[in-house]
Amino acid sequence: MAETPFKFYCDECGQKISVREKQYGMKSNCPNCKVAITVPVPEGADSIALEETPVELTSARETFILCAVLMLGALVAGVYVVM
Ligand SMILES: [Zn+2]
């Protein structure tokens, strides 16, 4: 996915702040008034920063299980053929 800067405005001072995808949902500070802000997650972006890790872990594990099953199957089939 291409890096699309997302712009929002500081609640305190109205400073326009642009963030990149990786910063969605992260805590930061306004560059102007230094107030603590949480970068909003734009509609449709589906909190990429927040859900990326669990999704990756799940899919990686599923891939591992699939590979293990396939390898086991190949092993069993290979053994069977040899025997
Ligand atoms: Zn501000």
Residue, of 64 and 48, whose pLDDT is higher: 64
Per-residue confidence (pLDDT) for residue 72, from 0 to 100 = 86
Mean pLDDT of 28-47: 87
CA of 13 to the centre of ligand 1 (A): 4
Helix or strand (DSSP H, E) at 38: strand 36-38
Question: Which residues, at least 6 apart from 36, have a Cβ–Cβ distance to it below 8 Å?
Answer: 27, 28, 29
Backbone phi, psi, residue 68, to 5°: -60, -45
CA of 5 to the centre of ligand 1 (A): 18
Q: Binning pLDDT at 50, 70 and 90, where does residue 36 land? A: very high
Backbone phi, psi, residue 6, to 5°: -115, 135
Q: Is the pLDDT of residue 32 over 80?
A: yes
Counting beta carbons within 10 angstroms of the beta carbon of residue 72, is it exposed (0 to 12), middle (13 to 18) or buried (19 or more)?
Answer: exposed
Mean pLDDT of 17-28: 90
What's the mean per-residue pLDDT of the chain? 79
